[in-house]
Amino acid sequence: MYKEIIKWVIALISQPAKAWEALTRKDEENDAFLTRFVYPLIGLVTLAAFLGVMFTRKEFDLELALKSSIKTLVSSFGGFYVAAYLLNEIRQSLFKQAKDLKLCQRFVGYSSSVMYTLNIILMLLPEFFFLRIFVLYTVYVVWEGAPVYMHVEEKDRLKFVGIATALILLVPTVIDIVLFMLMPGLRV
């Protein structure tokens, strides 16, 4: 299972156009997609948050590691589901396409793989903070997937890419900020 996840993440990062073409041909149940791609990837991000606090800090602090992993888990899951839901609603109202939440979940999940990969790297190696800029590569991944996977017309492509990328990148960040403000016990 993890080999397949790594294969798709590398394909989406290295050759997004070919990866989206292959994903379009891939017949996949949504439950299988969630359990074989999104959930394990979010689990890896959560594990990286835990290990990052445990092994990159000078002191051994289990409580801080648990807080970090909980905050990461909630913001990743919440970000994924809220972004997919909002994209589905916007897709229907703004782009006049039929609602398909499962399709939007798959699109958001695959498009988020760049962000999840960067989060794993940066949580384990926080001194490489400058790599955060590569999260903008998500724009290109979404750009390549919009017409092929989401069937967005060329005239609406730029608008769709802007909205989808903003949702994919900003919703988990907003949830993280809200958690930070509402629950002082989760401050890491």
pLDDT reported for residue 183: 76
- Residue 151 φ/ψ region, left for φ over 0, alpha for ψ in the -120 to 50 degree band, beta for the rest: left
Give me the residues of the chain with pLDDT under 70, please.
Answer: 30, 185-188
Do the Cβ atoms of 160 and 150 come closer than 8 Å?
yes
Beta strands in 64-124 (DSSP E): none
Distance CA(107)–CA(111), nearest Å, equals 6
Pairwise CA distance, residues 112 & 12, whole Å:
10
- Spatial CB neighbours of 106, under 8 Å, sequence gap ≥ 6: 23, 28, 30, 33, 149
119: tokens are: 């989060």
3-class DSSP state of 125: coil
Measure Cα distances from 75 to 116, 123, 179 in Å. 12, 15, 8
Measured distance between the N- and C-terminal CA atoms of the chain, rounded to whole angstroms: 31
> How many Cα atoms within 13 Å fall on the side-chain side of residue 57?
15
What angle separates helix 62-95 from helix 39-56, to the nearest 10 degrees? 150
